[in-house]
Amino acid sequence: MSIVMVIPVRNESAIIKDNVSEVIKFMKSSGIKDWHILVAENGSTDDTVEKLKKLSNKYPKKILSYQCLPVKSKGDAIKMAWLSRKADVYIHMDADLSTDLKHIPELVGGIEDGNDVVVGSRYLKDSEVERSLKRSVISFFYNTFMRTMFSLNVKDLQCGFKAINKKTLDEIVRQSRYLSDGFLDTEMLILASKKKFRIKEIPIKWKDDRKSKFNLLSVSLKFFANALRVKRDLMLGRYE
């Protein structure tokens, strides 16, 4: 199985070199054969791009490349990067590597086992999670609201650690509309659930070890607005 791993970045100069190198080191030792890391940069104003240039010269193009994308959001960057390459498995993970890399083979294995979407979940029994009380509370209410509104069985909608197959890319991701502020994850899972795609959640070790770049409350309110738009579009058959 060929694998494309997308890491979306914006203004990540402080961590991009070490973290991408860490992913490459892990993949080389993982036993997974056919993989490629694609860094999806969008709108950085620091020297992230310069560091990506140097990094890409260090490693073979077969295993690492980057794109500077003319889009405004993380969701747009992930979607464009995924659609730019052919693969059997498409993964995305956050640049800060909050999720332990040891779970990557589990994402791949979940797709190999016939699932359409594999989701890293911070809400399963065996998950190990470290994060602030504020983020925990907001995340809990967000997930509860979305699960109730769309009758979802998925416990964690927004964790930045997911894998999909080609079918999901073509039939779900291509249709996604509301990509601002990282809503792609939620919209993708809503549509996949409505279409009866096979979704698997895996427990993960996850650590929030840096201050968020976003106003969580503000972003959550935008997510709720997007959820209402998705609900409307589903009722009107616009995704068909």
pLDDT band, very low/low/confident/very high, at 207 (cuts 50, 70, 90): very high
Residue 45, classed as helix, strand or coil, is coil
Query: Alpha-carbon torsion 72, 122, 139, 199, what sign?
Result: positive
- Rounded to whole angstroms, how far apart are CA atoms 158 and 222? 14
CA 122 to chain centre: 14
pLDDT reported for residue 136: 85
User: What average pLDDT is seen over the chain?
Assistant: 94
The pLDDT, as a whole number, for residue 214 is 58
Model's pTM, two decimal places?
Answer: 0.94
In this prediction, residue 210 has a pLDDT band, given cuts at 50, 70 and 90, of: low
Of 102, 108, 186, nearest to 142 by C-alpha is: 186
- Which whole number is the average pLDDT over 29-43? 96
Q: Indicate whether 212 pLDDT > 70.
A: no
Residues 6+ apart with CB under 8 A from 41: 8, 9, 10, 48, 49, 52, 66, 67, 68, 69, 77
Backbone angles phi, psi at 179, to 5 degrees: -105, -5
Q: How far is Cα 83 from Cα 171, in angstroms, rounded to an integer?
A: 12
Residue from 105, 113, 119 nearest 3 by CA: 105
Task: Output the CA torsion sign for 24, 30, 34, 35.
Answer: negative
The residue-averaged pLDDT of 221-228 equals 90
Largest CA distance in the chain: 50
**CA 106/CA 164 separation, integer angstroms:** 12
Q: Residues 144, 157: contact at Cβ < 8 Å?
A: no
User: What mean pLDDT is predicted for residues 34-47?
Assistant: 97
Query: Residue 49, Cα to own-chain centre: how many angstroms?
Result: 21
CATH of domain 3-235: 3.90.550.10
78 CB contacts (<8 Å, ≥6 apart)?
6, 8, 40, 92, 184
Q: What is the pLDDT of residue 221?
A: 83
Q: Is residue 141 within 8 Å of 225, Cβ to Cβ? A: no
Q: What three-state secondary structure class fits 55?
A: helix
Q: Which residues of 203-232 are buried (b: 16+ CB within 10 A; e: fewer)?
A: bbbbeeeeeeeeeeeebbebbeebbeebee
Instruction: Give the pair of three-digit tokens for residue 167.
Output: 């079918």
Q: Give me the pLDDT at residue 240, please.
A: 77
Sign of the CA dihedral 136, 137, 140, 142? negative
- 11, pLDDT greater than 60: yes
- pLDDT above 90: residue 222: no
Among 101-105, 186-190, 222-226, the range scoring the smallest mean pLDDT is: 222-226
pLDDT category of residue 216 using cuts at 50, 70 and 90: low
